[in-house]
Structure 1
Amino acid sequence: MLNRLSRPTALALCAAPVIALLAVAGFAPLPFSVAQPGPTTNVLGKSDGKPVIDISGAPTRPTEGKLRAVTIVATGPDASVHLGDVLDGWFAENRAVMPRDAVYPTGDSTKEVEQHNKQEMKGSQDAATEAALSYLGKPSKDIEVDLQLGDVGGPSAGLLFSLGIIDMLDGDGSGGDVTGGKSIAGTGTIDAKGKVGPVGGVSLKVQAADRDGATVFLVPKAECSDAKASAPKAMKLISVSTLKGTMTALTNMEKGSGAVPTC
Structure 2
Amino acid sequence: MSSLPRRPLVLGLCAVVVLALLAVAAFVRLPFTIMYPGITVNTLGVYDGQRVITITGHPLRQTSGELRMVTIAATPPQDSISIGAALRAWPNPSEAVVPRAAVYPAGQSVAQVNAQDQQEMNQSQQAATTAALNHLKLSPDKVKVGLSLADVGGPSAGLLFTLGIIDELDGNGTGKPGAAGDLTNGAVVAGTGEIDDSGQVSQVGGVALKTKAAARDGATVFLVPQAECADAEAGLPKGLRLVPVTSLDDALSALTALQTGVGAVPACS
**TM-score bucket (shorter structure):** over 0.9
> Is the Cα contact below 8 Å between 1:57 and 1:143 reproduced in 2?
yes
Aligned to 1:99: 99
Match for residue 194 of structure 2 among 189, 202, 205: 189
Q: CA RMSD in A?
A: 1.7
Secondary structure of the residue that 2:233 maps to in structure 1? helix
Q: Find 1:209's aligned residue among 214, 223, 233.
A: 214
Correspondence 1:242-253 to 2 at 5 A: 242-253=247-258
Which whole-Å deviations, capped at 9, do the CAs of 1:196-221 have from their partners, x for residues lacking one? 11122211111111111111111111
* CA offsets 1:216-246 (integer angstroms, 9 cap, x no match): 1111111112222222342211001101111
Partner of 2:173: 173
- Identify the residue that residue 131 of structure 2 maps to in structure 1: 131
Residues 128 and 197 in structure 2, CA contact (< 8 A), matched pair in contact too? yes
Q: Quick one: which amino acid aligns to residue 94 of structure 2? A: N
Q: Distance in 2 between matches of 1:103 and 1:5?
A: 54
* Residue in structure 2 matched with residue 259 of structure 1 by the alignment: 264
Residue 107 of structure 1 deviates from its aligned partner by 2.7
2:237 alignment partner in structure 1? 232
* Structure 1 residues not aligned, in runs of 5+: none
Give me the whole-angstrom Cα distance separating, in 1, the residues matched to 2:78 and 2:212: 26
Query: What amino acid sits opposite 1:247 in the alignment?
Result: L
Scaled by the length of structure 1, what TM-score is found? Answer: 0.93
How far apart, in 1, do the equivalents of 2:202 and 2:22 lie? Answer: 42
* Counterpart secondary structure, 1:12: helix
% same residue = 54
TM-score (norm 2): 0.91
* Counterpart Cα distance in 1 of 2:129 and 2:218: 27
User: Structure 2: any 5+ residue segments left out of the alignment?
Assistant: 175-179
Structure 1 distance, partners of 2:196, 2:17, is 55
